[in-house]
Amino acid sequence: MIYLDHAATTPVPRAVADTMYTVLTEHFGNPSAQYPMGLETKKQVELWRRTVAKALGSESRQLFFTSCGTEGDNWAIQAACWQNRRLGRHIVTTAVEHSAMLEGCRWMEQQGWEVTYLTPDGEGVITAQQVLDAVRPDTALVSCMLVNNELGTIYPIQEISRGLAAKNPQTLLHTDAVQGFLKIPFSAKTLGADFITISAHKIGGPKGIGALYIGPRVKNPRPLLPGGGQEGGLRSGTEATAQIAGFAKAVELRTEGLEDKLRHMAEIKAYAKEQLSAIPDLVFVGRSDAPHILSVSLVGWPSQNIVNDLGSQGICISAGSACHQGKPSQVVAALHLPKKTAGSVVRLSFGPETTREDIDACVQALRRHHDTRMPML
């Protein structure tokens, strides 16, 4: 199998799986239990939290484990809007966010909140000034992803943060950094966001575990789940210790030689662009800044047909985000591309394990698809 869908999920290294197995079978104590095994497990959870927090550039006390990125995004919306409920009932976000953010905002609209959805240019770019121009005195929350999951476009979170401080200091800032964490250099300390969402399964960790950074400007954040008081009383429920351990182990492995890994992915991406450019009717889509995401359109050939054809040959690419489950992508729609181009977009995404041979096989398969199938759009 040739796997070129690392933006959807990533392979789990054996060391991560082994760490989780050991926790499940040997160190399975409940961290809330008061006997030695429980107390030791609680200590381990805090050590694992420290590992993830350090990689994010935050204090351990600012990092709260969640079940996934979707949960983190929704918690950030709820916490920010609760804190600023007396400031106003207005949210600014973008039309190219992950579905977790967009659906969370639509739910807020049903509760009477007003949401401004910013549209990018044809390259997927949204400027800091564009965001700041949409901020009003009653804006409770601005949410803008760090790296777009379909295009790889990096958004100017630091610049937005500085602008908010000048224009409306009470407005809170959230960024979904699921596609940015350990993929591009950044630190919670300097990014300027009040909430940062991350997820384990995008960096070689297990599914079912993520984290939300909550910064110092968030005062008494509203609990996501009331109950037994876990996660500082903000997200109750017995800690998923094996997943947390796997998350921390994945962070350890990914941070070893991280600069070399990022350089490798950037080189693989550059090689892919060079090889793909020789295919007739293929165009690149969006401004792809991050080293691991590349979207292209084989104009006239339906994207799902391409995905199905390559999949039958053991080559995994995607037609947009995996979370769309085959539905049209709101990201591609927001670019206002010609119909034939929009209907033919596929995404390749890379990891540290991706080789030039993987790229060669994918390019050959795409060229065969072009040469042997009739365009249908």
Q: Which two tokens stand for residue 377?
A: 């759009």
What pLDDT is recorded for position 81? Answer: 97
Please answer whether residues 350 and 10 qualify as being in contact, where contact means their C-beta atoms are separated by less than 8 angstroms.
Answer: no
Cβ contacts of 328 within 8 Å, gap of 6 or more: 320
- Measure the CA–CA gap between 284 and 50, rounded to whole angstroms: 40
Domains (range + CATH), the chain: 2-10+257-372 (3.90.1150.10), 14-255 (3.40.640.10)
Bridging pattern class, strands 315-316 and 2-3? parallel
Cβ contacts of 256 within 8 Å, gap of 6 or more: none
Bridging pattern class, strands 315-316 and 345-349? unpaired
Query: What value, to the nearest 5°, has the Cα angle with vertex 76 and ends 73 and 78?
Result: 110
Q: What is the DSSP letter of 201?
A: G
What pLDDT is recorded for position 26? Answer: 96
323 a catalytic residue: yes
What pLDDT is recorded for position 220? Answer: 87
Name the residue among 50, 55, 101 with its Cα closest to residue 256. Answer: 55
The helix (H) or strand (E) run that includes residue 245 is helix 241-255
What pLDDT is recorded for position 323? Answer: 54
Give the model confidence (pLDDT) of 246-274 as tens digits: 999 999 999 999 999 999 999 999 999 99
Q: Which two tokens stand for residue 6?
A: 């690392």
- Which residues in the chain come in under a pLDDT of 50? none
Q: Which residue in 81, 144, 316, 323 is the catalytic one? A: 323
Give the model confidence (pLDDT) of 174-194 as tens digits: 999 999 999 999 999 999 999
**CA distances (Å), 201 to each of 59, 68, 261, 274, 331, in order?**
22, 9, 17, 29, 22
- Measure the CA–CA gap between 319 and 81, rounded to whole angstroms: 33
- Measure the CA–CA gap between 164 and 155, rounded to whole angstroms: 15
